[in-house]
Amino acid sequence: MRNLLASPLRHEQIDAAWALIRICGNVRGSLAEWRAYAKSRLPSASRGPGRQGLVAIHCTRGYIYGLFAYNAETDPVHRMVLTVEPLAFARLAHSLDPGEVLLAASEDLARTLDCRAIHLVLSADDGDGSGLRRIGRDCGYRLTAERLCKELPDVEAGRSIN
């Protein structure tokens, strides 16, 4: 059985992460858009995790099996909350699921960032959420809200509303 680890995505892993996203993820856009997004979320210095970032779930050989984005933000109920959004996960044949590693890494990260709760955002398009719904419930997560999304295809990026 392979051991899976979680660590911040590094600059040199951005393209490898894109390959996983294209195969297993629910992210749209081009490679150039992905690179710009990923670079904007990478920490500028190695002083520990920032308030936002990307975390890779990988084996000791460096192959990426999962990826999630996170934001630590203020919340009216919990004061500080870590919002975690899985971007892509490969289903593996061995017993250690990347989803289990994601949840454990999220808890460690939340504690490091002094968050009092974790909001796990699961894609409605993903059916069973790569098993994260089941694993999350087994680990103490509960459904507290639904988030609706309406895409606005005619809106240009950066256009003012005035």
Give the tens place of pLDDT for each residue, 30-59. Answer: 999 999 999 999 876 656 678 899 999 998
The string of pLDDT tens digits covering residues 121-159 is 887 665 554 577 777 777 787 877 777 676 777 666 555
Ranges of each domain in the chain: 4-138
CATH of domain 4-138: 3.40.630.30
Q: What is the 3-state secondary structure (H, E, C) of the chain?
A: CCCEEEEECCHHHHHHHHHHHHHHCCCCCCHHHHHHHHHHHCCCCCCCCCCEEEEEEEECCCCEEEEEEEEEEEECCCEEEEEEEEEEECCCCCCCCHHHHHHHHHHHHHHHCCCCEEEECCCHHHCCHHHHHHHHHHCCCCCCCCCCCCCCCCCCCCCCCC
